Amino acid sequence: CFAEFEHLLWIFSKTFIKTLRSAPKDETARGAQFLIRAGYAHKELAGVYDYLPLGLRVLERIKSIIREELNAIGCEEVLMSTLQNPDPWIKTDRWDIEKMDIWFRTQLAAGGELGLAPTHEEPITNLLKSYIKSYKDLPVYTYQFQTKFRNELRAKSGIMRTREFIMKDLYSFSASDEEHETFYHAVEQAYARIYTRLGIGEDTYQTFASGGVFSKYSHEFQTLTDVGEDTIYYNADRSVVLNEEVLNDEVLTELGVQRNELESAKAAEVGNIFTLKTKYSAPLDLSFTDRDGERHPVLMGCYGIGVSRVMGVIAEKFADEKGLVWPESIAPFKVYLIGIGEKGMQQAGAWYQGHAGSIFFDDRDLRPGEKFADSELIGLPYRLVVSDKTLAADSCELTTRATGETKIL
């Protein structure tokens, strides 16, 4: 049934998507313009986007990679509510708009207020009070993919900074510092594998960032890109990379580098990992009984990845003047298939039938030049062209989008 659905959807003439000649005027970043023009995303209003069939497929493929790597280190997926009860947020002092200026709030018809979740430390901590009682119930590692709402002052760079976005948020609950550290390192390594599989491993650095109240540093994962909002500093072999906010004499001494050894670059934060210790478990009273019958607050960590931001960063980074260039691991389809001429179209159609799901078949009644231009805009890894002419030579042409290189097969 699913194969049938895919088969019908991914013939170009059967989808509702059309490539557009222009993007909204206020959309300045190149990747964002292409995402809209190529039919991956639609702009509802500033900082609010819809994902169309092609874009949804990219998001789902990014999520699959993250899911595989997190499941492999023992994490359990959940899906929590977006509507938020103020109570736990009041207990941690984060309900106050003065403290958390990015809240979206709404009124209940029956009276009272609710929030739209900007993050989930409070509700997940509160939820686990029903399940964590003793050291035997620990550790717990839960994550989700979910829509977050943030009343950001400025929306920027298309889907890179929005007011509604998809985040993967993971929370860890441990009985000891040692257990927490071990998991924290496992996440560092899982993140490195995730960014490598997403095709941005070489340009993504784990940076020292400001740590908040309890640990000296947190870590961020920053991907080099000209449209990034952050500036990172790195030494020659890039063994020390740090965020601007921790660039001070004390930190430099501790990391054993000097200011004049560091170069700077623009980057976008694609993920972060935090040691929280008892920041949320203490006020929300999430505790466990140890072997000796003593009560302790649970030790927590939180670990985010901006799923939709990652998509925006990848779109931006790899785009060229003609359009998007997706890494194979997250491209919505592998091959953009074009048939030219009567026999070419027939052959393309026959191939398509045998490969539904990995081929996007441009069967539209358009000039070849228009199809070529759209194939470059949409940015699938390969373009396969079969025409009456290539068939006469018993061949077809395979072009790699990233290099423009064509092979006769």
Q: Which residues contact ligand ATP (rule: CB under 6 A)?
A: 119, 150, 152, 161-162, 165, 167, 269-272, 304, 306, 308-309
Question: What distance in Å separates the CA atoms of residue 394 and residue 402, rounded to the nearest whole number?
Answer: 26
Q: Which residue has tokens 């199809």?
A: 371
Q: Which is nearer to ligand ATP, 230 or 362 (CB)?
A: 230
Q: Which is nearer to ligand ATP, 150 or 197 (CB)?
A: 150
Q: Hey, what are 26's tokens?
A: 């206020």
Please report how close the Cβ of residue 31 comes to ligand ATP at its closest, in angstroms: 14
| Cβ contact 82:116 at 8 Å | yes
Q: Which is nearer to ligand ATP, 11 or 117 (CB)?
A: 117
Please report how close the Cβ of residue 131 comes to ligand ATP at its closest, in angstroms: 24
Cβ within 8 Å of residue 193, ≥6 positions away: 69
Q: What does the chain come to in residues?
A: 409
Please report how close the Cβ of residue 132 comes to ligand ATP at its closest, in angstroms: 23
Q: Which is nearer to ligand ATP, 94 or 161 (CB)?
A: 161
Q: Which is nearer to ligand ATP, 308 or 390 (CB)?
A: 308
Q: Which residue has tokens 């054993």?
A: 256
Q: What is the DSSP string of 209-273?
A: EE-TTTSSEEEEEEEE-TT-SEEEEE-TTSS-EEEGGG-SHHHHHHHT--GGG-EEEEEEEEEEE
Give the number of other CB atoms < 10 A from CB of residue 293: 7
- Report which residue type is found at 342: E
Q: Which is nearer to ligand ATP, 175 or 270 (CB)?
A: 270
Please report how close the Cβ of residue 87 comes to ligand ATP at its closest, in angstroms: 21
Please report how close the Cβ of residue 143 comes to ligand ATP at its closest, in angstroms: 12
Please report how close the Cβ of residue 88 comes to ligand ATP at its closest, in angstroms: 17
CA 326, 329, 331, 336 torsion: positive or negative?
positive
